[in-house]
Amino acid sequence: MVGIRHWSSAVAIRRTLRRNQDILLDVRRGRTNTDTQSIQNDLKMNLSGRILEEIMQDYLVWTSLGFALVIIELMTGTFYLLVIGVGALVAALTAWLGVPFIGQVATAGLVAGIGTWWVHHWHIGHRADGDQANAIDTGQAVTVASWGNQADGVLRVKYRGTEWDARIRPGDVAASAVGVGGTLHILAQDGQCWVVGSQRPAA
């Protein structure tokens, strides 16, 4: 089925050209040059309309929409726009194969729906993995490497051979008094910063 629609459109345009040539021959045999020129102009306009109609096919609209959504996704980082854009590109393929417009819309909706569902569950899975990783680190001992602002509880700690940004849990006076080389415990993670305290959290 690939290319059937374009092949039929090309055949239709060739037939239009052939009919135009036949009409011009008839006109030249029985009419004036002015009539011939007028009909030539009309035929050119009709042919231009056919070509413009061919250009504005559904698959081009779907393709433009799909690429626009993908470009926007690259600028915003939302996977949801990406899967909707993929749905539009799949719809462009079905339009190119000659599927009716309602089928194109259904295909785009189906692909976008499945993709959105997958992205949603993918985000949930990664969030769960992150929570599990945090649970593994919670309670682990860290060593105070240096204090940034001891009054505000901002410091650097050594953990697994690397220095990390950390901050003392508010109200933990004992942790704020620990000197360089002392031991604290991870309580939670806040972005790229560990929240630490003087006591290991209860299991």
d(CA 133, CA 123): 15
Q: In CATH, which of 3.90.1170.50, 2.40.50.140, 3.40.50.1370, 3.90.950.10 is domain 139-197?
A: 2.40.50.140
Q: What is the pTM of this model?
A: 0.41
d(CA 169, CA 153): 8
Q: What is the pLDDT of residues 109-163, one digit of tens each?
A: 999 999 888 887 776 655 544 555 466 788 889 999 999 887 788 999 999 888 9
Could you state, in order of their start, the residue ranges of all structural domains in the chain?
4-55, 58-131, 139-197
CA 16 → CA 26, 27, 37, 40, 48, distances in Å? 15, 16, 18, 13, 11
